[in-house]
Amino acid sequence: MARAVFGDFARAVESHLDVPAGTAVRGGSGQEFAEVNGALLRITEVMARYASDVSLVSGDYLPGDRSRLAVWARAAIEAREALGHADELLRESGASPGNENKTVTGTSLPRGLHAAAASMTAARDLLQTHFTSEPGSVRQGRSEWALVITSPTVTRTLLGEIAIWARHIAPQLSDLAVARPGMRGTGEARRRMETVGHCLWSVHAAVQAAHQHDPVSADDRRLLHAIPVNMPQPRCVPDGTETIGDLCAGIISTAERVRHAAPIPPRQPAWDPGLTITSLRQVAATGTATSHHCRILLRALAARASQAGHDQIGPGLLESAAAATQARARWLHAVGAVDQVTTDVRRFVSAEATEAGDLALWTGRLAYDDPRWQLSSGPSQPARAPEALAAEPDDIPVVLAAIHHAAETLRHLARADQHQIRAAADAGRILVPTRSLPESDDVARRYSTAPPSRISQLIAAYQDAGTASAQTTAAIADLAETVRAPSRILTLARAATRPTRDSAPSFSRGSLPEPALTRSASAAPEHTTAELLRHIGATSPDLLRRGSEIDRARERLILDAAQEQALDHTHHNSARSLGPEKDALSSHPVARADPRAVAATIGQAPRQSEPPEFEP
């Protein structure tokens, strides 16, 4: 069963907000205003939570990204302020969030808003499953998607999503606020409704301004929508009855489980008790087998593409197979390096090693003709015929996606084990036989702590395996893009977690840098002053208000500093002056966080040269 993804809920939000014109309300009675206010309060609460989650100020921007930080951080701050203002207005009106079940009039707007709020909340909860957050502690990533979610790319796109929602709601509030016959006594409520609508326009306008400067692409939105709930599929091993499609799905599911079981530091503790020589050997051997299977499969796909006349991907498939051959050789080298060492604990097989074995099994089942193939099946196993692997041309992207996931997982495994070995070596857990040490005279002991030179050789072997696997992944990513394979999302996710965004995502081979370790989810937003005050039990509204003011001042300070640095940077380089853009930003009505000024802005049509409106 497919896992829920962010896009499922985001689409539901838009569906709930898509109220046909003229059907939003019946007559605009006082009760209807109260119901809409209650539903709106839920909406603004959850949207404000989204905006609070977004950290473009204290997050991961590098010096080269300062101008982007300026525009998007400003958008985040202004969206947060506008939503806060709307929240205040609604609370002043006596609105209570309530829920959709209490709606008595049955008009479509409050019902739609309540349903949209529920979907927004579910979508945010889905993102939160990728983090752990204990009281008083920093939010920690707990999946490979955490880095993606906290990346500047997804953060900006999330703000864009909020803006889209705000833009759907705002005109309906304006419509509701228009006076009609029989609406006597609702003047104050209508004015308030209109102002709340302006606040939502303000959210949209703030994000739109940032989007004009630094656009969010369709691929960025595709990536956000593809983020799944952090709930790995249960372990599953093939039983021999699987179709090609089943095997491909099994490979992808198992690949995700492997990556989940092999976390990348700094989530890793100083040393992992799961690191044993038994696990290391199993991962290295099955990793080698998986890369061998990838090679077989890529060659078979190349033959199939040739049969089917797909000349545009044949050479790429052969190049990918050659890259897989290199990866196999590098993994084989790692296998040999692991032969020469041991650990203080043996026998225990980690979850990572078990899952890596499963991946070799699934990829082997796809590569070989025997539906009961096992790693222990022995020699002379015939490979699956190309026409059986991809009976129809449309099957090629499906099979390629499975290979793409397997290759990406090998890259991940090499890197994870490299860090595990380093941590274990630091703890003195990697041992070598004393008789393998040339100058050792202490032959009475059987093992000795591995000397640094041996550790370096071991780590270098894994580094090489990781690099070769990354090159295979990059080669396959090119093809995945060409044939529109579903695994393209892997490439987008990797691009989003690159340490710099100065260049557009590149799919060229061999150019996939590792995500910077320092840019982990643990470096994500620290606690705000207001949160810390609540944590120590402060409940005084005055204290909390002052805390919020400090937080806002801090954000402003960082933003101003970043913008100043960006200006200095661009002036020095004389490549592209930010002067006019800075002026435009500072003179932009929403930059003053004044919702009343927004109405004059929203009618402005974008210039021809600007990116399109941020809309789905």
Q: Which residues contact another protein (rule: CB under 8 A)? A: 277-278, 281-282, 284-286, 288-289, 292, 329, 332, 335-336, 338-339, 342, 346-347, 364, 374-381, 433-435, 443-444, 446-447
Task: Please tell me the distance from the alpha carbon of residue 63 to that of residue 147, in angstroms, as a whole number.
Answer: 19
Q: How near is the Cβ of 290 to another protein at its closest, in Å?
A: 10
Vertex 90: Cα angle to 87 and 93 (nearest 5): 150
| 259/292 with CB nearer another protein | 292
What tokens appear for 511 in the block? 């150019």
- Tell me the CA distances in angstroms from 180 to 34, 185, 194, 279, 353, one per residue in order: 17, 11, 14, 73, 69
Q: How near is the Cβ of 438 to another protein at its closest, in Å?
A: 13
Q: How near is the Cβ of 232 to another protein at its closest, in Å?
A: 26
Edge-first strand listing for the sheet containing 430-433? 342-343, 430-433, 447-449
- The residue written with tokens 């940077």 in the block is 569
| 278/482 with CB nearer another protein | 278
Task: Please tell me the distance from the alpha carbon of residue 455 to that of residue 450, in angstroms, as a whole number.
Answer: 6
| 286/520 with CB nearer another protein | 286
Contacts 24+ apart (CB under 8 A), 22-28: 23/108, 24/107, 24/108, 24/109, 24/172, 24/175, 24/176, 25/107, 25/109, 25/175, 25/176, 26/105, 26/107, 27/180, 27/182, 27/183, 28/176, 28/180, 28/182, 28/183, 28/186, 28/190
Q: How near is the Cβ of 256 to another protein at its closest, in Å?
A: 23
Task: Please tell me the distance from the alpha carbon of residue 68 to that of residue 75, in angstroms, as a whole number.
Answer: 11
β-strands 131-132, 140-141 pairing: antiparallel
Instruction: Return the half-sphere exposure (C-beta side, CA atoms, 13 A cut-off) of residue 265.
Output: 18
| 342/497 with CB nearer another protein | 342
Q: How near is the Cβ of 347 to another protein at its closest, in Å?
A: 8
Q: How near is the Cβ of 464 to another protein at its closest, in Å?
A: 16
| 71/359 with CB nearer another protein | 359
- The residue written with tokens 């890529």 in the block is 298
**What is the DSSP code string of 159-195?**
HHHHHHHHHHHHHHHHHHHS--TT-TT-HHHHHHHHH
Is residue 460 helix, strand or coil?
helix
Q: Which amino acid, 53?
A: D
Q: How near is the Cβ of 282 to another protein at its closest, in Å?
A: 7
| 143/282 with CB nearer another protein | 282
- 3-class SS string, 393-420: CCHHHHHHHHHHHHHHHHHHHHHHHHHH
| 376/453 with CB nearer another protein | 376
| 41/277 with CB nearer another protein | 277
| 92/441 with CB nearer another protein | 441
| 95/284 with CB nearer another protein | 284
| 369/526 with CB nearer another protein | 369
Task: Please tell me the distance from the alpha carbon of residue 511 to that of residue 528, in angstroms, as a whole number.
Answer: 37
Task: Please tell me the distance from the alpha carbon of residue 287 to that of residue 412, in angstroms, as a whole number.
Answer: 11
| 202/320 with CB nearer another protein | 320
Task: Please tell me the distance from the alpha carbon of residue 267 to that of residue 130, in angstroms, as a whole number.
Answer: 13
Q: How near is the Cβ of 324 to another protein at its closest, in Å?
A: 13
Q: How near is the Cβ of 301 to another protein at its closest, in Å?
A: 17
Task: Please name which of 223, 209, 15, 219 lies closest in space to residue 613, comparing C-alpha atoms.
Answer: 209
Q: How near is the Cβ of 363 to another protein at its closest, in Å?
A: 11
Q: How near is the Cβ of 444 to another protein at its closest, in Å?
A: 7
Task: Please tell me the distance from the alpha carbon of residue 269 to that of residue 554, in angstroms, as a whole number.
Answer: 32
**What is the DSSP code string of 115-141?**
HHHHHHHHHHHHHHTTEE--TTS--EE
Q: How near is the Cβ of 382 to another protein at its closest, in Å?
A: 9
Contact between 406 and 294 under an 8 Å Cβ cutoff? The reply is yes
